[in-house]
Amino acid sequence: MRKHLFLWTVLVPALFSQSPPVVAIRNARLHPVSGPVIEKGTVVLRNGLISDIGAAVSVPSDAWVLEGDGLDVYPGLIDGLSSIGIPEPAPNTGTAPPAAPPRPGAPQPLPPPARGPEDRPLTNSWVRAADLLRANERRIELARSAGYTTSATFPSVGIFGGQGAIVDFGGEDAGRMVVQQGIGQYITLARNGFTAFPGSLMGTISYIRQVYLDADRYRTAKGLYSQKPQGLERPAYDRALEGVLESPRVLLPAVSDTEIHRMIHFAKELKVNPVLYGLLDGYKAAAAIKSA
């Protein structure tokens, strides 16, 4: 665990907003994980990073000193998959007036015609968690109070939810909270109330497969055009496929033993670098997960 991911559980929330340049927590019981417990030691932080830790560490003269007698200092927990930091959608209050019912025998409005392969109503692959992050999002303080300092935060609306980011729960603005953006693409098997395609498990898997087929063709077309543009039509920019192609890994849902095996095979078909999430029955498929 990197040093700057430690949580100093004895600190008050004000520390994160004031951010003094030098802080020393002394005479606390330290749990460094990578070594034995230090029964009575000192942690020194400079500009938010641990600069020294141990039983014989001297407190700098310019440090803000926090007395740790009788307290324990633990490493911060990392939430491996969440949406913490991204504001939750406002609840539906039901205040909007209901739509008038159609008159008997009145013609029903026709759905808009399909525009072709780019008609992807549940694809938000270009959405970035780093762009949606808000430093005052209410769950950040709740997570920090529970001992979490960092999260792999992902947008999660649609089948292709978007690109995640590693986020630290300290900092006065969202830009300082982002450690790394674009860590992977979040995929669900959401059907979002669709009664037609892709309103079933088979339809959703087909939807995902088609997006990757489109992405592969898009990548090939761009490559051919960049090598020899003469006589070729320039491929139109497609933000959905760009978001898919630039994601270094793909998060696939798999809870049961059957789903785990299904997603392992599906990832091989898609030729992606997969991360399975859920895995409540992971112990039943341990051998398959290990071999994959």
What would the pLDDT profile of 202-231 be if each residue is shown by its tens digit?
Answer: 989 999 999 999 999 999 999 999 999 999
212 found inside a domain: yes
User: Beta strands 22-30 and 72-73: pairing type?
Assistant: parallel
Does 115 map to a domain? no
Q: Are strands 178-187 and 250-254 parallel, antiparallel or unpaired?
A: parallel
Would 170 be classed as within a structural domain?
no
Given this model, what pLDDT does residue 190 score? 82
Domain final residue pick, 75, 101, 125: 75
- Cα(274)–Cα(292) distance, rounded to whole angstroms? 10
As given in the structure block, the two tokens for residue 255 are 């809870």
Establish if 218 belongs to a structural domain: yes
pLDDT at 28: 95
| Within a domain: 279 | yes
Query: Is there a domain that residue 189 lies in?
Result: no
Model confidence pLDDT, tens digit, residues 77-103: 999 999 999 998 766 555 555 555 556
- Smallest CA-to-CA distance from 219 within 187, 245, 183, 193 is with 245
3-state secondary structure of 135: coil
Host domain of residue 217: 201-291
What total of structural domains would you count in the chain?
A: 2
Under a CB-based contact definition with an 8 Å cutoff, are residues 120 and 240 in contact?
yes
Nearest to 50 by CA among 24, 76, 74: 24
**CA gap 132, 116 in Å, rounded:** 29
Global pTM exceeds 0.85: no
Q: Give me the pLDDT at residue 3, please.
A: 40
Write down the residue that tokens 């095979």 correspond to.
265
- Phi, psi for 220 (deg, rounded to 5): -65, -45
Q: What is the CATH number of the domain that holds 69?
A: 2.30.40.10
Nearest to 40 by CA among 87, 73, 17, 76: 73
> What is the model's pLDDT at position 107?
65
Burial of 170 (C-beta count, 10 Å sphere; 0-12/13-18/19+): buried
Low-confidence ranges of the chain (pLDDT < 70): 1-19, 90-119, 192-196
Contacts (Cβ under 8 Å, ≥6 apart) of 170: 16, 48, 144, 149, 176, 177
Task: Report yes or no on 139 lying in a domain.
Answer: no
Q: For residue 221, tell me if it sits in a domain.
A: yes
Residues near 34 by beta carbon (within 8 Å), at least 6 away in sequence: 1
Mean pLDDT of the chain: 86
- Residue type at 1? M
- Using the 3D structure, point to which of 32, 50, 75 is the last residue of a domain: 75
Q: In angstroms, what CA-CA distances link 3 with 22, 28, 62, 169, 178? A: 15, 17, 21, 15, 16
Residue where one domain finishes, among candidates 57, 75, 93: 75
